[in-house]
Amino acid sequence: MLKQLIDYSLANRFLIIVAVTLMAGLGIRSALHLPIDAVPDLTNTQVTVITSAGSLPPIEVERQVTYPIEWAMAGLPDVQEVRSISKLGLSVITIVFTEGTDVYFANQQVNQRLPKASASLPAGYGPPILGPMTTALGEILQFEVRSDTRSPMELRTLLEWEVAPKLRQVDGVTEINVMGGFYKSFEVQPDPDELMNQDLTLEELYSRIEAANANTGGGYVIHHDEQRFIRGEALLTDVNDLKNIVLRRSDVGSPLLLSDVADVAITALPRQGAVSRDGRGEAVTGMVMMRIGENSRDVVNRAKARIAEVQSTLPRDVSL
């Protein structure tokens, strides 16, 4: 058999050369376009449902949030397993489908049940949302936002609002996980004695602040044959805007302002963890998550190119 193959190859040299050249070309093309990863991703088809539960303790999160959502997902086709984790203020449910189920079909089926799941939750919690279409092996690139002059809160704010949104636009990227630093917030600390003196409740104080933080529209007017739009701009942008919120007006004196009954300051929300790097102390980092089925090499190259573009738009004292 082997002798016949050799004789055939020698007798048809041109055909063999063409066949070998074609196979070599296909091999090179496959090597250039083959999806490459550090380790094979053998994760089965999974869909994650994430629900915020305020400040509920884990046992109440499981009872009031996790259980109702799990019941709402009952009866989905091709479901193999449903597992969940209930943490402080957070419910994470993972729905595992049978091997070979299309991931987009699975997401569609779960997404159709979300309105039903949301309706079964107590008021003030949720709504449940789908987690990113990625796996545990989708963490393909980690980067740090560094500055010698800015605080971790400032770096976290830059990462949340300037860097992460632009990286999410990269083809093949499904999410940017932000870690480290402090989440910026405006804190209002009412003075109980002043509230009693002014006959104000915490609920009234909250509603006044909420009502003052909104832009509105008033249609338009015709002025010199031109259409002029009417806008009411009242979005709160800094501490002074908060301090100057009018809680009550008086016909005989100055209006009662928020600063008269409360202290207002920029503070950080409580956190449960931190990030450090190379023994230098606190760090602010981002993790690029790859969409299921993408080529990690190509996505990493595109993400690095976008990081270089974003770097040129940041302040000079901030580096990625």
Tens of pLDDT along 161-172? 999 999 999 999
As a whole number, mean pLDDT of residues 258-264 equals 92
- pTM for the full predicted model: 0.79
Per-residue pLDDT, 126:
82
Residue 177, CA distances (Å) to 34, 69, 151, 174, 198 in order: 27, 24, 20, 10, 44
DSSP single-letter state for residue 282: B
pLDDT at residue 15, as a whole number: 85
Indicate the pairing of strand 90-97 with strand 46-52: antiparallel
Number of helices (H), then strands (E), belonging to the chain: the values are 12, 13
Helix or strand or coil: residue 235? Answer: coil
Whole-number average pLDDT of the chain: 90
Q: How confident is the model at residue 93 (pLDDT cuts 50, 70, 90)?
A: very high
- pLDDT tier at 5, thresholds 50, 70, 90: confident
Percent with pLDDT over 70 in the chain? 98
pLDDT band at 38 (very low <50, low <70, confident <90, very high): low
C-beta separation of 309 from 162 below 8 A: no
Distance of CA 296 to the CA centre of its chain: 20
pLDDT at 293: 83
Enter the tokens of residue 133. Answer: 């279409």
Q: Mean per-residue pLDDT for 33-48?
A: 78
Which letter does DSSP use for residue 42 in this model?
Answer: -
Query: Which residues, at least 6 apart from 73, have a Cβ–Cβ distance to it below 8 Å?
Result: 49, 79, 82, 93, 95, 110, 113, 117
Domains along the sequence of the chain with CATH: 46-130 (3.30.70.1430), 139-183+271-311 (3.30.70.1320), 187-267 (3.30.2090.10)
Run of H or E residues at 90: strand 90-97
311 Cβ contact partners less than 8 Å away, ≥ 6 residues apart: 319, 320
- By the 8 A CB rule, do 109 and 76 touch? yes
- The per-residue pLDDT for range 282-296, each reduced to its tens digit, is 899 999 999 988 888
CB 139 within 8 A of CB 289: yes
